[in-house]
Structure formats: structure tokens, C-alpha cells
Amino acid sequence: MTEMKATRDGYGEALVELGKTNPKVVVLGADLTDSTRTLWFAEKFPDRFFEIGIAEQDMLNTAAGLSLTGKIPFVSTYGVFIAGRAWDQIRTTICYANLNVKIGGAHGGVSVGPDGATHQALEEITLMRVLPNMKVIVPCDAIETYKATMKAAEIKGPVYIRFGREKIPVITKKDTPFKLGKAATFREGKDVSLIACGYMVCESLKAAEKLEKKGVSARVINLHTIKPIDKEAIIKAAKETGAIVACEEHQIMGGFGSAVAEVVVENYPVPMRFIGIQDRFGESGTPEELIKEFNLDSSDIVKAVEEVLKHKHG
């Protein structure tokens, strides 16, 4: 059986490890420390944890100030409250000056579940990738989130890491290579490429299984780093498979699929389809129900593939 684990747990574990190995790392919280798993760091390293209260804008800029003294601050709360409410702080104070602030955006996607639309971040990829100097990572499972978090501490400048609330299958291993800005091909295929991030990598792998039974060979690419984007892998996929379906648990507009399309259109145009949220707010429900409700599951991907194949050149 595949192990199930929430990506936020990978974040929390990495912060604890960083606490042990890198004295410069500090963590800030905004009254959601348990839920973002930063509590694990706070309990072990109370002198390097700063509770700021329900004050996201203040938290982001306090982190900016700490980074100016050489610390490596990690700030976290739910994606809506961080990427949305504190966007101007992230833009003008952090990104403009390329400050070394790491942002953990929790509760990404509709799979947050019953809390509903107010708490389901569906816009952060768009909001963050549009900012110069920002790097955006959407890891596909807990192990990859751990690696992304460790990597974020190593590199200079602002990083946004998106993670989710629910337990999802762990599909990578400790020794699966993770390179920032380098896509990983999780399954070879020649008829179509499924390019995905976050939980949608898992749904894409399921879709590829189903497609194989239908005689369609689908490549599955885990494009965990949305910025800087791996142009090479995308262009290669366009050339070699001739059709692309981009899959994200996020608004299609301006988001992950748009980032992929920007590369495709300019370099090697091939037919594309987009799996993602279609200009709607989220809803309450169980994660499984919502994945279906918003047409994000593997059978939706299969349908999109069948559709895109009809438009494939030659």
C-alpha cells in the first residue's frame, strides 16, 4: 500500500531538520502554527520562533526585517491569507529587494475540503509567479515538500512553496532526485504529455494507467518548479508527444497551465488542454467529492486527453 501523508507534514519535518542544521533559520507564525506544522519547529526551537498573531502583513515584513539581519525566515499561514492578504508586502518589500524570505503557503487547492472557498487557495500560483525574483514550487508529495523546503533554505531570495492539508499518496522516494527548476519525468510516453504539479501529479499517473489500457501512451511530467520554469522539458514534451494536458489544483487563469502554455506557444505550439479550476470559487465537501466536483480527477484528465488528441497535428 502506498503511504499516505500530507505535504504540510513534509514542510514541518524539514523545518525541524533546518532548525538542527542551520542556525540562521527562524520561523514566524500567524496563529496557525499547528495547522501549518510550524509548531514542530516552535516547540524545539522556541528562541527562533516568533508568534506574530493574526497579522499576516506584519508577519511578512517582520520576516523581511529579520532577513536583513542575515536570518533565513520561513513564514507560513494559509495561501489565501499569505499570497492574497500580504501580496503587496511580498511584492514591494520582499521581491523588489530580493529579500531572503521563504513563504510556506498552506491549504492550497479545493482538497482543503469542508472549510470551503474562504480557505481554499486557488490563486497563489498566479499571484506569486508574476513577481520578479520570486521562485514558486508546488511539490507533489510530502517527501518532495521536504526536499523543496530544504532547498529553499539553501538558495538566496524569496521562495513560495505551496502545500496541502490532506493526506495524499507518497509517490516519490527519499532518493528520487529533486532539482529546483528541473522537471522530473515520472512516466515515459509518446502520444501525449500530462504536465502536472502538486497532487495533480498523482491524478495524472492514474490517468496514464487508464490511458494505457486504451492504447494511449502518456508521458507524465512532474513540473514542481513553476518558476523558474523548465522550458527545455516542456519543449521536448511538445516536440516528442505533440499534445499537452496541463493539470493543476488551482485556477486555470494565469496559473500553472498558463505558465506551461507560455512556453509552448512561443517555442513549439501544439494543441493543449487545461485541467484546473474553471473560474469558480471553491465549495465545502470532502476532498474526494471536491476533486470530482471540480473535474480534477483522473477520468477528467482522460477525457481531456481524448479531446486534445483529436486536434493533434498530422
Residues that bind another protein (CB under 8 A): 26, 47-48, 50, 52-53, 55, 57-71, 73, 88-89, 91-93, 96-98
User: Is 173 exposed, middle or buried, given 0-12, 13-18 or 19+ CB atoms closer than 10 A?
Assistant: exposed
Instruction: Note whether 75 and 28 are within 8 A (CB).
Output: yes
Query: Please, which residues bridge with residue 4 across strands?
Result: 169
User: Is 73 exposed, middle or buried, given 0-12, 13-18 or 19+ CB atoms closer than 10 A?
Assistant: buried
| Residue 56 is among the residues annotated as catalytic for this protein | yes
The minimum distance between CB 76 and another protein, in angstroms, equals 16
Angle between helices 298-310 and 200-213 in degrees, nearest 10: 60
Closest CA to 66 of 54, 52, 83, 80: 52
The minimum distance between CB 193 and another protein, in angstroms, equals 38
Q: Are strands 4-6 and 244-251 parallel, antiparallel or unpaired?
A: unpaired
**6 or 52: CB nearest another protein:** 52
Q: Are strands 167-169 and 4-6 parallel, antiparallel or unpaired?
A: antiparallel
Which residue of the set 56, 123, 144, 166 is catalytic?
56
The minimum distance between CB 92 and another protein, in angstroms, equals 4
**50 or 268: CB nearest another protein:** 50
**35 or 98: CB nearest another protein:** 98
Q: Which residue's C-alpha cell is 506574530?
A: 52
Query: Please, which residues bridge with residue 274 across strands?
Result: 246
Which three cell numbers mark 308? 486534445
The minimum distance between CB 43 and another protein, in angstroms, equals 18
**96 or 281: CB nearest another protein:** 96
- Angle value at C-alpha 236, between 160 and 307, nearest 5 degrees: 90
The minimum distance between CB 31 and another protein, in angstroms, equals 12
196 φ, ψ (degrees, to nearest 5)? -140, 165
Q: Which residues are catalytic?
A: 56
